[in-house]
Amino acid sequence: MGAHDWQATKERRVLLAGAGLLTALGVEVLLVALGFETIPSRQLLAAFGLTTGVVALLVVILRMGWDRALPWDRHFLYVPLSAAALLLNLYAYLAPSLRFHTYPADFGVRELDMSYFTISLGAHFHF
């Protein structure tokens, strides 16, 4: 078995994570296109630029070998994870409907009628 190139593996993982982040951003673009969201184009472009910039920076860190200077992140896990968390928070900030969800009010239901639900614990109890 040959030697494994861990730097290439880390780089591939960062690029796959970046593709996932761009997919999440693509969902927001789709929500705007379908009329479910009203995010200005400038903000979407800024989020796209920031996402590609962060992923590119992470790849540059790996290619330059700067990840080896982080003794607390030997496997280069926490830095990309933190970057992904920040970007996902940005996406949630851009699309408020993704963070606030009031189920009954969204569908015009003022209060839930619990008489339709039953709990089975050997016998049926009706609320």
- What residue segments make up the domains of the chain, in order of their start? 6-99
> How far is Cα 91 from Cα 17, in angstroms, rounded to an integer?
15
pLDDT at 6 over 50: yes
Residues 54/83, Cβ–Cβ less than 8 Å: yes
Looking at residues 50-66, what average pLDDT do you find?
94
Residues 83/60, Cβ–Cβ less than 8 Å: no
Looking at residue 43, its pLDDT comes to: 92
Share of the chain above pLDDT 90, in %: 42
- Taking the CA atoms of residue 24, residue 30, residue 36 and residue 39 in that order, the dihedral angle to the nearest 10 degrees is 70
The secondary structure element, H or E, covering residue 80 is helix 78-94
Pairing of strands 124-126, 118-120: antiparallel
Which positions ≥6 away from 50 have C-beta within 8 Å? 87, 90
> Is the whole-model pTM more than 0.75?
no
Looking at residue 86, its pLDDT comes to: 94
pLDDT at 77 over 80: yes
pLDDT at 119 over 90: no
> How far is Cα 82 from Cα 80, in angstroms, rounded to an integer?
5
